[in-house]
Structure 1
Amino acid sequence: MPAPRLLIDPELGRALDGVPMTPNGAFDLTDITATREALRSFAAATAAGAPDEPSVAVEEHRARSADGGPDVPVRLLRPTTATGPLPVVLWFHGGGQVLGFAAQDDPWLKRLCARLGCAVAAVDYRLAPETRAPGAAEDGYAAHRWLVREAAALGLDGTRIGIAGQSGGGGVAAATALLIRDRGGPAPLFQALMYPMLDDRNRTASSHEITGLGIWDRSTNLLAWQAVLGDRAGTDDVCPYAAPARAQDLGGLPPAFIAVGELDCFRDEDLDYATRLRAHGVPVELHLYPGAYHAFDLFAPESQLARSFQQTWTAYLARHLRAPAS
């Protein structure tokens, strides 16, 4: 087939040309510490250059761990003008489960809060390699349990909590949904997954095709999974709470939204997960974006494809967070 670079949407291609690249791509996981610092600097510069959303307040909370580990920091964003118990999106940031932090998404999550009149609880889950999987999913479970328990005191609606995540955080969101189901917790309204990282085995066609783009290629993904799982990566010793694609039974999970680009190494594992969810009776809304690489909406937010995705994503959240008719 043609090289992936030749298939990129023109707008996305121009954006990609402007992305600073190391010899190991945009995200150099051969030096995780340095890349984390670079990401923090980039997020700070982005936040400084974005107009603030004064109608959204930010609160810092801590959820007690479910597995005896440290408490889980949760960054709660809420619109100050909204009334009544607010629906909540439990959010998991991107970064391949090795990079990133909850506050990195403040600019666009604040706009989402203001537009939808909902709260967002962004989870600062533990990262690898310091904490191996399924530590991040345990943090997600603890944060969900805390939200349900404290909803009334926080002015939130504990019956209207959806789970969402991006890239590595999409994988943590999917794993959290599995933990909630298996431990008998209140079912989330949905699991909204942006190009989620689901399968440590890296044996799909797309995981082999997507090389040389510099945006979370196969080589980067292999390093990420090695950090997340250590020597377990790709072996039989991996549970679904570490890599959701390993789950055999997907029944009883909340409705799913899954979106992924055609030129994303996660493409085929995401399509397969959507197909298997549907086969187990789970409602699925699936979107495949032609000519789009991983995280295209972040690198080219003004592109036509990104705007289409943002509109679709926001509409899905709005429909599912809406209070049922009395």
Structure 2
Amino acid sequence: MTTRHLVDPELAAILDQIPAQILTAETLRQIRAMRSQASTNLPQFSDLSVSEHFIPGPEGAPDVRVLVHLPTSEQGPLPVLLWMHGGGYIMGSAEDPTITSIVSAIRCAAVSVDYRLAPETPHPGPIEDCYAALKWLFTHADELGIDPNRIAVGGSSAGGGLAVALALLARDRGEFPLMFQFLIAPMLDDRTCTLAQPHPYTGEFIWTPEANRFGWTSLLGQEPGGSDVSPYAAPARAEHLEGLPATFINVGALDLFLEEDLEYARRLMRAGVPTEVHVYPGAYHGFRMVPNAQVTQAAARDQLTALKRAFDLSHRTEQHQQTYHS
């Protein structure tokens, strides 16, 4: 059976141009090399400055590379999005075109984290790299021109999973406040690999069940679906979601992560967390690679509107509190 007939027509043609790839330790090296070459051809925005920093990593670990994106025409302190790139926990880099387009569009700051990748660095290395970046961002907010009370965390795919795990870790450690989760088709639940009755219409394209198993096995250092998986590795495992920041989630209806994302959204709302969810019919994982499709443009509008509204709302709340206390 194929789900090709369910794909949005504007998203279908490119599928014929994408070679089927089986993820193994050998092919992973090749795929990383191709993606690295592609990242050198990212679009440039004249109204942004991008600076590279190497910040203190977790104890006993190497420094973490981050890229700081700032709109050149804006005065601080700016709201900031701490961004984790996608790539199944096994590939990708901080050079992510998604974040440059977001910064250019809504004039916020952003910090993109080059966390260490699995399988070379399994859990908890990647999430602790992201926490180190959050600590650095918060403690250097003044010199960066950033408002430490308006920090959002976000990411796509595995980066979205890391953003959720980071929000859980920040809540539980109680050191740094977060005001928003910005999640694009987040990869949240290793148990999706082991479902007895998987969704019959998701995961055929781009990120398949086989790729998902390889990604989770690489991150966990063991087969997915076990009883001892940390919620900071697979955040769908978290028992309590109370106290997490307001959340935006979008996902395609044909995306392998559809049901785990909807379940996370349902549980957030049951925990009293303000949550906005969008599902796009006919859209597979990574459909944003077809930028001119109407469904892609709708998704881009929805996510930019949600992030801008969250930053604006938090700014008004901050101003009101300052007025009240004065």
Structure 2 length normalisation: TM-score?
Answer: 0.91
| Cα offsets for 1:175-194 (capped at 9, x unmatched) | 01110001002321111110
Indicate conservation of the 8 Å contact 1:97/1:224, yes or no: yes
* Matching residue of 2:88: 96
Give the C-alpha shift of residue 219 in structure 1: 0.8
Question: What's the RMSD between the two structures over aligned residues?
Answer: 1.8
Indicate conservation of the 8 Å contact 2:184/2:249, yes or no: yes
* Matching residue of 1:200: 190
Indicate conservation of the 8 Å contact 2:167/2:245, yes or no: yes
* Matching residue of 2:30: 34
The reply on whether 1:224 has 2:215 as its aligned counterpart is: yes
Q: 1:220 to 1:184 in 2, by over 3 A?
A: same
| Cα offsets for 1:252-274 (capped at 9, x unmatched) | 11111111111111111111111
SS of equivalent residue, structure 1 residue 196: coil
Indicate conservation of the 8 Å contact 1:29/1:35, yes or no: no
| Cα offsets for 1:45-87 (capped at 9, x unmatched) | 4x2xx3x211211111233224432221110010111012111
SS of equivalent residue, structure 1 residue 273: helix
The reply on whether 1:172 has 2:162 as its aligned counterpart is: yes
Indicate conservation of the 8 Å contact 1:180/1:186, yes or no: yes
Residue type matched to 1:265 in 2? L
* Matching residue of 1:84: 76
The reply on whether 1:267 has 2:258 as its aligned counterpart is: yes
Q: How many residues align?
A: 314
Indicate conservation of the 8 Å contact 1:262/1:290, yes or no: yes
Residue type matched to 1:133 in 2? H
Can you give the 5+ residue segments of structure 2 that lack an aligned partner in the other structure?
Answer: 321-326
The reply on whether 1:191 has 2:181 as its aligned counterpart is: yes
Q: 1:28 to 1:304 in 2, by over 3 A?
A: farther
Residue type matched to 2:235 in 1? P
* Matching residue of 2:323: none
CA distance in 2, matches of 1:307, 1:224: 29
Q: 2:298 aligns with which of 301, 308, 314?
A: 308
Indicate conservation of the 8 Å contact 1:29/1:224, yes or no: no
The reply on whether 1:150 has 2:140 as its aligned counterpart is: yes
CA distance in 1, matches of 2:174, 2:126: 19
* Matching residue of 1:290: 281
The answer to which of 78-87 and 199-208 deviates more is 199-208
CA distance in 2, matches of 1:314, 1:158: 21
Q: 1:292 to 1:201 in 2, by over 3 A?
A: same
The answer to which of 243-252 and 57-66 deviates more is 57-66
* Matching residue of 2:324: none
CA distance in 1, matches of 2:176, 2:110: 18
The answer to which of 246-255 and 110-119 deviates more is 110-119
* Matching residue of 1:44: 40
* Matching residue of 1:121: 111
Give the C-alpha shift of residue 29 in structure 1: 6.2
SS of equivalent residue, structure 2 residue 112: strand
SS of equivalent residue, structure 1 residue 231: coil
Percent identity over the alignment is 43
Indicate conservation of the 8 Å contact 2:249/2:276, yes or no: yes
CA distance in 2, matches of 1:224, 1:295: 16
CA distance in 1, matches of 2:20, 2:201: 20
Q: 1:75 aligns with which of 60, 67, 71?
A: 67
Residue type matched to 1:233 in 2? P
Q: 1:288 to 1:29 in 2, by over 3 A?
A: farther
Q: Which runs of 4+ in 1 moved over 6 A?
A: none
Q: 1:108 to 1:232 in 2, by over 3 A?
A: closer
Q: 2:49 aligns with which of 48, 57, 63?
A: 57
Residue type matched to 1:277 in 2? L
Q: 1:175 to 1:208 in 2, by over 3 A?
A: farther
Indicate conservation of the 8 Å contact 1:22/1:28, yes or no: no
* Matching residue of 2:128: 138
* Matching residue of 1:112: 102
CA distance in 1, matches of 2:253, 2:246: 23
SS of equivalent residue, structure 2 residue 229: coil
SS of equivalent residue, structure 1 residue 146: helix
SS of equivalent residue, structure 2 residue 222: helix
